[in-house]
């Protein structure tokens, strides 16, 4: 019998690091190591120390290695999938000059608007990058840094995304992939490379950026001696280029460019995200036209306020997150961190429709409804951009794959079912981002296709839930409030 090989997939998200240990031959989950992050900031600021990510990665790998019972010598590959868009600026020694500005930091909204106008408007941006700058995009954050902390910008010797920073710590090599690079605002999905004109607009020297690997599965090196010692792994461990979290989730689901529009994905995490894989390059101001890590494309729409926002409402009401009832007449838009889709970076939460008989459980239900309607409206926009009518019966009946932390919550799942009217599939493996990273690691170690690897792994039975009658009344009530309130009440124009 050949010796067992083990790969590690790392999901470095906003709130924590998860490291999954997977049997590379079967896909059997051996262990999950976890370690928390710290996010700080107020008044639109959201920052983390990148050194905390590295310490969390070390802790998660150590915990997973112990739990798995695997010998370190069995580990053949590792890959990192990271939260998108974050801005990491380093000095000449590779140390962070300041905390990383995270994707949900909204301070750069004015810079995003100015950049959009400077290039000639939304259509000009989508023609080159596939996306229009918003506060989340790395280019907007870099411009904010130039304007607000010019000494830091001038001292910057390297600019990285979160997953780039960790990959470089592992290998000593500055590398990224097309998927995560496509969320920066300076990478062209039209040419598959950094855009010189956009770099000039941003005053950003290409020499500060990592090289773009062919795919996220590209082997960019092996562990350095320091990383191998820190992680307790062999020097020979292959390191993949890695990718962004959403691109990795697509790999983990075994989905490539065959047309995921037939199986749209809804991720319920800190953010609410909907995406679809496509062989056709998306170019619509209504969504983020990202590249996928396998050379195809990943049209995506993202909302800022999802599980954390609803958990905050539950805490304010003193309720458990599942102690919930439908909202009745109450409508609560939980835009506690501003909002990205719709683009309302200065928005705050909005509550309307209170009655004497409104209960706390209904208020919490209204928060779920507000978050879910927002992300499902984003899904409808994505489908229209892909040439599909969301109301057409055949399209409306297509299953919705539900992932992220919310997919394990009864209230989230049932609210999505009630407001979408769609069949819902909850994948049997609950960590598709980390699983996708493990497939990228296996591909880096073997040269095989990562999507084929993930598709061939046995990672548990999916839960398939039939459709329920759509709650059109709640959908229309929440949508009506959102349409009417998108002006001054929610920080819009």
User: Which residues have a catalytic role annotated?
Assistant: 245
Q: What is the dihedral of CA 57, 48, 490, 299, to 10 degrees?
A: -40
Encoded tokens for 324: 């919930």
Query: For tokens 């709650």, what's the residue?
Result: 471
∠ Cα 415 301 284 (to 5°): 140
d(CA 90, CA 112): 23
How many CA atoms within 13 Å lie on the side-chain side of 44? 17
Helices (H), 386-429: 393-396, 410-420
Collect all residues with Cβ–Cβ distance below 8 Å to 437 and sequence separation of at least 6: 8, 9, 10, 11, 20, 79, 80, 81, 240, 242, 243, 248, 251, 252
Instruction: Give the SS3 label for residue 294.
Output: coil
Write out the E strands in 334-385: 350-352
- As a whole number of angstroms, the distance between CA 87 and CA 74 comes to 34
Angle at which helices 50-68 and 162-171 cross, to 10°? 60
Classify residue 255 by burial, with Cβ atoms within 10 Å: 0-12, 13-18, 19+: buried
HEC readout, 102-161: CCCCCCCHHHHHHHHHHCCCHHHHHHHCCCCCCCCCHHHHHHHHHHHCHHHHHHCCEEEC
C-alpha closest to that of 271 among 36, 9, 46, 19: 46
CA-to-CA distance for 441 and 217, rounded, in angstroms?
Answer: 7
The residue with tokens 């100015």 is 114
């Amino acid at each position: 019998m050949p010796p067992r090989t083990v790969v590690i997939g790392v999901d470095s998200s906003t709130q924590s690091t998860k490291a999954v240990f997977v049997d590379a031959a079967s896909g059997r989950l051996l262990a999950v190591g976890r370690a928390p992050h710290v996010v700080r900031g107020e008044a639109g600021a959201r920052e983390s120390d990148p050194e905390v990510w590295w310490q969390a990665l070390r802790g998660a790998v150590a915990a997973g290695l112990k739990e798995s019972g695997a010998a370190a010598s069995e580990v053949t590959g590792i890959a990192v999938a990271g939260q998108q868009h974050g801005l990491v600026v380093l000095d000449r020694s590779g140390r962070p000059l300041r905390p990383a500005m995270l994707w949900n930091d909204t301070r750069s909204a004015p810079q995003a608007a100015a950049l959009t106008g400077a290039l000639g408007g939304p259509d000009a941006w989508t023609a080159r990058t596939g996306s229009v700058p918003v506060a989340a995009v790395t280019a907007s954050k870099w411009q904010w840094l130039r304007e607000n902390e010019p000494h830091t910008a001038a001292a910057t010797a390297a600019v990285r995304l979160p997953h780039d920073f960790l990959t470089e710590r592992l290998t000593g090599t500055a590398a990224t992939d097309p998927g995560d690079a496509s969320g920066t605002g300076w990478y062209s999905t039209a040419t598959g490379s950094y855009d010189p004109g956009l770099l000039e607009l941003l005053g950003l020297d290409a020499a500060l950026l990592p090289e773009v690997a062919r795919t996220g599965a590209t082997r960019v090196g092996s562990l350095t001696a320091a990383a191998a010692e820190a992680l307790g792994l062999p020097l020979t461990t292959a390191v993949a280029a890695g990718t962004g979290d959403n691109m990795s989730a697509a790999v983990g689901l075994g989905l490539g460019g065959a047309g995921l529009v037939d199986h749209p994905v809804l991720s319920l995490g800190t953010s609410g995200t909907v995406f679809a894989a496509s062989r056709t390059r998306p170019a619509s101001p209504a969504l983020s036209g990202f590249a996928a890590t396998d050379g195809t494309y990943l049209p995506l729409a993202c909302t800022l306020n999802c599980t954390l926002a609803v958990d905050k409402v539950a805490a304010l009401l003193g309720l458990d997150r599942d102690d919930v009832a439908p909202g009745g007449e109450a409508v609560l838009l939980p835009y506690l961190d501003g909002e990205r889709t719709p683009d309302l970076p200065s928005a705050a939460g909005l509550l309307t429709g209170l009655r004497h008989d409104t209960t706390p459980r209904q208020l919490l239900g209204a928060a779920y409804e507000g978050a879910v309607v927002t992300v499902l409206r984003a899904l409808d926009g994505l489908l229209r951009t892909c040439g599909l009518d969301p109301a057409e019966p055949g399209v409306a009946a297509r299953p919705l794959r539900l992932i992220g932390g919310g997919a394990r919550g009864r209230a989230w799942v049932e609210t999505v079912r009630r407001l979408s009217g769609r069949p819902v599939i909850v994948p049997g493996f609950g960590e598709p981002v980390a699983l996708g990273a493990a497939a990228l690691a296996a591909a880096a170690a073997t040269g095989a296709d990562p999507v084929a690897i993930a598709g061939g792994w046995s990672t548990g039975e999916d839960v398939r839930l039939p459709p329920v009658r759509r709650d059109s009344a709640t959908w229309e009530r929440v949508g009506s409030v959102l349409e009417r309130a998108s002006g001054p009440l929610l920080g819009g124009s």
